[in-house]
Amino acid sequence: ERINLSKFTDKVVSEIQLALRQKINFDIQTDLFVSMDKMALYKIIIIFLENAGKYSPSNSEITINITLENHQVDFQVADEGIGVPEEEKDNIFERFYRIDKSRSSEIPGTGLGLAIAKEYAQLNDAKVFVSNNSPKGSTFHLLMESIEN
Ligand code: ATP
């Protein structure tokens, strides 16, 4: 269905902020519409934000950005955490995959979150991928087709 992405993100952020140690920065007020299943979009955003919270220190910040290019909306969750090594960037979207045990052993998880996010994205003709954040950490992207208001 048709979703106002900025408004929807605002709601998700205010809901999850209490559960995270890091401050989430988000202040985009431009109305941008996408066609997604609401539950799928909600899940993907939550998975990105929970991971950002899990894999970055408590005194750091999480930043959400939304950009529009050629009718493509790029929804980004950037953190200042441990980052994802180049050679693991595809693997982490596989089921039960977690980057080396020593690295994530103190952080609980099943390795399913990102595989679910990928599945939900594909069902909605959207894409997920990760890039580096600068100077440190990672940026998780959700690419969706924009729809005209
Ligand atoms: P769960 O799905 O139960 O939260 P998980 O976090 O291990 O478990 P995924 O969300 O699928 O599973 O993530 C897979 C792996 O990708 C993680 O184990 C972690 O190594 C890496 N990863 C995910 N998000 C980040 C991030 N924001 N920064 C650094 N590494 C990350």
Closest CA to 88 of 127, 116, 130, 47: 130
pLDDT at 106 over 80: no
Q: What is the mean pLDDT of the chain?
A: 94
Asked whether 132 and 83 are in contact (CB, 8 A), the reply is yes
Query: From ligand 1's centre to the CA of 28, what distance in Å?
Result: 26
The per-residue pLDDT for range 22-58, each reduced to its tens digit, is 999 999 888 899 999 999 999 999 999 999 999 999 9
pLDDT band for position 101 (50/70/90)?
low
Mutate to test the pocket of ligand 1, among 56, 61, 92, 116 (most ligand atoms within 8 A of CB): 92
The per-residue pLDDT for range 128-144, each reduced to its tens digit, is 999 999 999 999 999 99
Give the helix/strand (H/E) hosting 6: helix 5-16
Residue ID of nearest Cα to ligand 1 atom 12: 111
Q: What is the mean pLDDT of residues 6-25?
A: 97
DSSP state at residue 39: H
Reading the block at residue 24, the tokens are 């989430």
pLDDT band for position 80 (50/70/90)?
very high
The per-residue pLDDT for range 115-131, each reduced to its tens digit, is 999 999 999 999 999 99
Residue 14: what pLDDT?
96
* Residue % of the chain over a pLDDT of 90: 85
Reading the block at residue 143, the tokens are 């690419």
